[in-house]
Structure 1
Amino acid sequence: MSRPALRRPSRPPLDVAGATAVVTGAAGGMGEHIARGLGRRGAHLALVDRDADGLERVAGLVGGESPGVRVSTYVADLSDRDAVAALAARLRDAHPDVRVLVNNAGVALGGRFVQTSEADFDWLLEVNLHTPIRLTRALLPLMIENGQGQVVGLSSLFGLVGPAGQTAYSTSKFGLRGFNESLASELDAEDQPVGVTSVHPGGIATNIARNARTASGVDPDEAARGRRAFDKALRYPADKAAEEIVEALVARRRRLLVGNDARALDALARVAPSGYWSVMQRGLELAARRSR
């Protein structure tokens, strides 16, 4: 006798109005616009970042746009494991009505594997991978208890393809992609009311390239050229990307590719899984020449 096929549960669109949405990396870039988009839909906000001034600025913008929305801010260094544990406990205690967790915070680190120290590699993994897992572990039970929720994990274009010079970053983003997809499968199999959206943005116009840490073994001139080349590839408006992410989480989508570059390289990696790097390299070399 054949076994019945497993069906993905049909969850209704997420109602965020009146519930709490936790957004990390909310002091600027996509995180700011995700927070503002959720606020416009009536969600109360718990905003997390290490930039206290930036958080207060975003809280003020949300208050002006969405006067009925409550905004709480949490200043935390997400590379500090103890600080993240304390943050998770505070969020869990202060926001039992949580319905959305957007794991948006991320850092970048330029340099090949042999140029990257173990300390730098671990620093990046703490922020980009371990913190999303820890916050999800803390808040997912509340969402399940509340009967509705969505976890959103910001992976990357580099969670789809692994370019040279991005070993640490791609490790973290492939890892977050795997976490998102496996967690989504588990929640679907258990017919839970909480879903997962895995997001893969391409070149979004934020400061991530300019603010990237450089591995200790990288020549400063090489690092500057790399930052300029990557910065030129960041073209997609952050507010537009954020609106797509908010719409995807409300619709309970499992996967979102943001930008033509993400869609094209996702397709290329599927067609030529061992040969996509040469195409990417030509594109980066062209961007580097334009940056001089």
Structure 2
Amino acid sequence: MGIGDLVGRVTGRGGPALDVAGATVVVTGAAGGMGEHIAKGFARRGADLAVVDRDEEGLARVVGEIEAETQVRVTSYVVDLADREAVTDLAARLRDGHPPVRVLVNNAGVALGGRFTEITEDEFDWLLEVNLHTPIRLTRALLPIMLENGEGQVVNLSSLFGILGVPGQTAYSTSKFGLRGFNEALRNELSAEDCSVGVTSVHPGGIATNIAKNARTGSGVDPAEAEQGKRKFDKVLRYPAAKAGEEIVQAALARRSRLLIGMDARALDALVRATPSSYWSYLGPVMDRAGR
């Protein structure tokens, strides 16, 4: 093992910096929030873009702003990532239409409030389709291109809720823990193959996006309780989405294996490591007070 390899193991960096100028970067959930800023960050670095979202109007706005500020080529795909057939078609179009794909950022995600007993199987499956199955399908479609081209990075957004389990977020935590496990296992498989394709697992804390406001609630959740829960979570979403997006771009280019965004994510990651069986006895009352 060389010095560079040792430094990479210790720091979580996976080799020389990735150059995306003239290559293609795929970003899902690009019509707003972190996804918008991730796409713009890669565009500023000369990458052509394939951007995906179900919000046609928002996606058109982002594409227009990127085209006004840069000379890169931007292709947009309006797709509902909960539609398995549509995702299969999207994967084929991305694979066939963008041979120089160098980075895949699976940023799109949805939220579903409610305890396990308040959520139907269909509701649970809807969330898993968007948050877990779609990233895996797109990775399956595009990873072979990166391997054939000799370099690339898969960036999958897990969450702080992929580090700790929060009552009332059973479905969301399931999807994010699952994606975290996928990230780590795939990264170790690729590392064993000694290739220049890596995986970045991103764990944002409370980012100022509309995910809480746009969250669905389980059909068994009391409406008043659902609104209270949304307000509580919205209060802790304060970290600027633009700053988070830039951190994700930098982590991908540096081939980092893991990125915690925000002091809350770093502090709670440490708490869970220190008290894996009892962290909620400390954290639960704190979150209740913060949401009042």
Q: Specify the TM-score bucket, using the shorter chain as the normaliser.
A: over 0.9
Letter in 2 for 1:43: A
How many residues end up aligned between the 2 structures? 283
Answer yes or no: is 1:279 the counterpart of 2:273.
no
Alignment match, 2:44: 40
Q: Is the 8 A contact 2:14 2:198 kept in 1?
A: no
CA distance in 2, matches of 1:61, 1:113: 41
Query: What is the deviation of 1:276?
Result: 0.9
Show the counterpart of 2:179: 176
- Between stretches 57-66 and 23-32, larger displacement belongs to 57-66
- Counterpart code for 2:152: G
Letter in 2 for 1:70: R
2:74 corresponds in structure 1 to 71
Q: Please state how far the C-alpha of 1:10 moved relative to its aligned partner.
A: 5.3
Matched, 1:270 2:273: yes
What is aligned with 1:115? 118
Moved over 2 A (4+): 6-11
Q: Within 1, Cα distance between the matches of 2:59 and 2:28?
A: 10
Indicate which of 10, 20, 25 corresponds to 1:21.
25
Q: Which amino acid aligns with 2:257?
A: R
- Asked if the contact 2:236–2:291 (Cα under 8 Å) also holds between the matched residues in 1, the reply is no
Identify the residue that residue 55 of structure 2 maps to in structure 1: 51
Alignment correspondent of 1:88:
91
CA distance, structure 1, for counterparts of residue 254 and residue 122 of structure 2: 39
Unmatched 5+ stretches in structure 2? none
1:68-217 alignment runs, 5 A limit: 68-217=71-220
Across the aligned residues of Structure 1 and Structure 2, the Cα RMSD in angstroms comes to 1.2
**Cα distance in 2 between the residues matched to 1:34 and 1:168:** 26
Contact 1:107–1:208 (CA under 8 A) maintained in structure 2? yes
Q: Tell me the secondary structure at the aligned position of residue 17 of structure 1.
A: coil
Partners of 2:274 and 2:287 lie apart in 1 by: 20
CA contact (8 A) 1:163 1:280 kept: no
Q: Which letter maps to 2:187?
A: A
Paired residues of 2:187 and 2:198 also in contact (CA < 8 A)? yes
Q: TM-score when scaled to structure 2?
A: 0.95
The alpha-carbon deviation at position 283 of structure 1 amounts to 2.1
Q: What letter corresponds to residue 47 of structure 2 in structure 1?
A: A
Alpha-carbon distance in 2 for matches of 1:198, 1:157: 11
Cα distance in 2 between the residues matched to 1:39 and 1:54: 17
User: CA–CA distance in 2 between the matches of 1:64 and 1:146?
Assistant: 30
Q: Residues 246-261 of structure 1 correspond to what in structure 2 (within 5 A)?
A: 246-261=249-264
**1:218 is matched with which residue?**
221
Percent pairwise identity: 72
- TM-score after normalising by structure 1: 0.95
Question: Which stretch shifts more, 280-289 or 209-218?
Answer: 280-289
